[in-house]
Amino acid sequence: MTHTWHITTVVDAARARIATARLAAEHGVPVLDRTRLVTALTAQLRQCLTKGGAWRLTFTTTPPSPAEDRPRLWITLRPDPGDRSDADLTWQASAPATEREGRARTAVVPARTTALAEALFGADDDTARVLDTLTEQEALVAFHREELHQTNQGVLALHAELDAAGRAQQKLFAAERAARTEAEEARRRLTFLADASAALTASLNHGEIVRLLPELLIPTYARSVDVWLLGDEVEEHGHAPRPAAAVVAARTGRPQYAAPHPGGLPGVDDRPPSALHPTGPLLCVPLSARRTPLGVLILTPPGDRWNPDDAVMLIELARRAGIAIDNAQRFEHNRDIAETLQRALLTDLPATPGLQLAARYLPATHGLNIGGDWYDAFRQPDGSLIAVIGDVTGHGLHAAVMMSQLRTALRAYAVDGGTPGQLLTRLHLFLHHLQPDLYATAVIVRFRPGEPELTWAAAGHPPPVLRTPDGRVHTLDDKPGAMLGIPLRQDIADHTVSLPAGSTLALYTDGLVERRAQGIDPGIERLTEALSALGPPDLDGDLERAADRVLDPMLRDSEGDDDVCLLLCHFGSGQTAPVIGAPSRRP
């Protein structure tokens, strides 16, 4: 339902206000909302009469919506379209209503003076009702004020009793706070000890552990920290003299406290002040593991002296640091042995006229730096050259030993001749019978002097990549054989590809191109881009440097959890070779 009033005079405004109040009442608008609505409308009408001109007041109702289950009244006051078009002067208000409709007669207010007078006297009905409600609320507030006063009197009495009880419990609370503070301090020390131990044992580099100790202890538990490792010739050569207390701690294995006055620290021997630090105390805690002295932790206090509980914690931290340093030194020793073994298993590349070879092997940065990736190149009795790159599944000493056996077996099989596919087939049978639960992948290529082509075969290995002299890069992805050693009988096929002078062949293992989040295909694409970026002068001049230029962009996002092998074979541009097409199959 919609009602509209045109307003030009004060009488029109009064009639519209009276009609609006009556319609709001007929639509069940609560008295408070109705009073607010009419009051706001009156203020707006007064402003409109001040501005002058013609105005239009619209009264509309809207049915209930999904967001509100009651109908709503809308009052809109705007300039009459025939008088002005300033939309900024529009005013709108609303109020909730009930379901019943108002009677049409309430919207008509006669312009007679008598009718307006009657409406004027009746206009204060809503205000009277609001004032009655306000009077009731004031009486209720007064009642609650008196009730609150009585309650406050009882609360005051209760507070007096509680104050007496509080004074009686003050000593208990003080004791509880002291116990809580002591517990928090103990928790803080235990948390620090746990976090520090985790940080120390997370590294297998003893130099990093030594550098980490001052970062952990300064400035909370020490003003200065010096780590003296026994047997470190480089460190001993350039270091200042050691305090006598540190020497005693290293010799006896007991913590020493050197200061002008006894420290009274549990488990610590008191000694005279150090000649190197005569005015301040020193705490020298031995670093040992398996009853073997490794060094001494030399500390100066963060303040005047150490708290006894802090000293106990520092002694325990030194014990754990000694174990971490010992484990790191043992791991570094074993890693050096493993890396030396790995390097010994990788042979030197033969020198061949017209053919340059460059290889790179990067062990995984995790573990013992020894794995199953390998490369090899050797001549066959017929004068041809065999180049191979492979990867034994797994990591560690077992994979490296199996890799060595495969390499030796391949060289033995190659003495009898055979194509790359035949050699891989024999390696497949060898591995299946030797280690049924171990698998490997490999690519073998054969070069014959004077022949402008390359024979190759693959078994479950990433495809070789060939760069032709025109700068194009091709992936040799002819159907490969399955992995070596799987319980499957297979005859691995040979493939032949044209080999123009100036071509470069890249053999590699999956550690170079595979990333967990991306797979292997994006890595092969990046490898082809790195090869195509090299020019003939780079490849003909220094293949070793070219190999490094290929590796650099490939290893920027390496996770270091797998070995990386790369073998580049470049056929010098000076070789004579007929004009040959691209590989038999392009990617």
Task: Find the mean pLDDT for residues 74-102.
Answer: 77
* Structure confidence at residue 368 as a pLDDT band (50, 70, 90): low
Task: Find the mean pLDDT for residues 167-194.
Answer: 86
Q: Do domains 203-335 and 346-571 have the same CATH topology?
A: no
Task: Give yes or no for a contact between 568 and 543, defined as CB atoms under 8 angstroms apart.
Answer: yes
What value does the mean pLDDT of the chain take?
83
The one-letter amino acid at 433: H
Q: Which H or E run contains 337?
A: helix 308-345
In whole angstroms, how far apart are CA 201 and each of 191, 210, 218, 298, 510?
A: 15, 12, 19, 20, 31
The residue extents of the domains of the chain are 2-123, 203-335, 346-571
Q: CATH class for domain 346-571? A: alpha beta
The single residue listed with the structure tokens 């020493």 is 256
Is pLDDT of 8 > 80? yes
The one-letter amino acid at 350: P
pLDDT tens readout for residues 202-248 = 888 888 999 999 999 998 889 999 999 987 654 555 566 889 989 99
Backbone angles phi, psi at 275, to 5 degrees: -65, -25
Task: Give yes or no for a contact between 462 and 527, defined as CB atoms under 8 angstroms apart.
Answer: no
- Give pTM, 2 decimals: 0.52
- In 3D space, the residue among 404, 406, 355, 414 whose CA is nearest the CA of residue 379 turns out to be 414
E-only strand ranges, 173-281: 224-229, 256-258, 269-271
Using only C-alpha atoms, the chain has a radius of gyration, in whole angstroms, of 47
Task: Find the mean pLDDT for residues 264-287.
Answer: 88
Task: Give yes or no for a contact between 296 and 250, defined as CB atoms under 8 angstroms apart.
Answer: yes
The residues, any chain, with a CB within 8 Å of residue 194's CB and separated by 6 or more, are none
- In 3D space, the residue among 523, 476, 477, 531 whose CA is nearest the CA of residue 504 turns out to be 531
Is pLDDT of 185 > 90? no
Task: Tell me how far apart the alpha carbons of residues 406 and 392 are, in angstroms, rounded to a whole number.
Answer: 9
For domain 203-335, give its CATH number from 3.40.309.10, 3.30.450.40, 3.40.50.300, 3.40.640.10.
3.30.450.40
**Averaging pLDDT over each range in 93-102, 459-468, 557-566, which range is the top one?**
459-468
- Preceding amide of 219 cis, omega within 30: yes
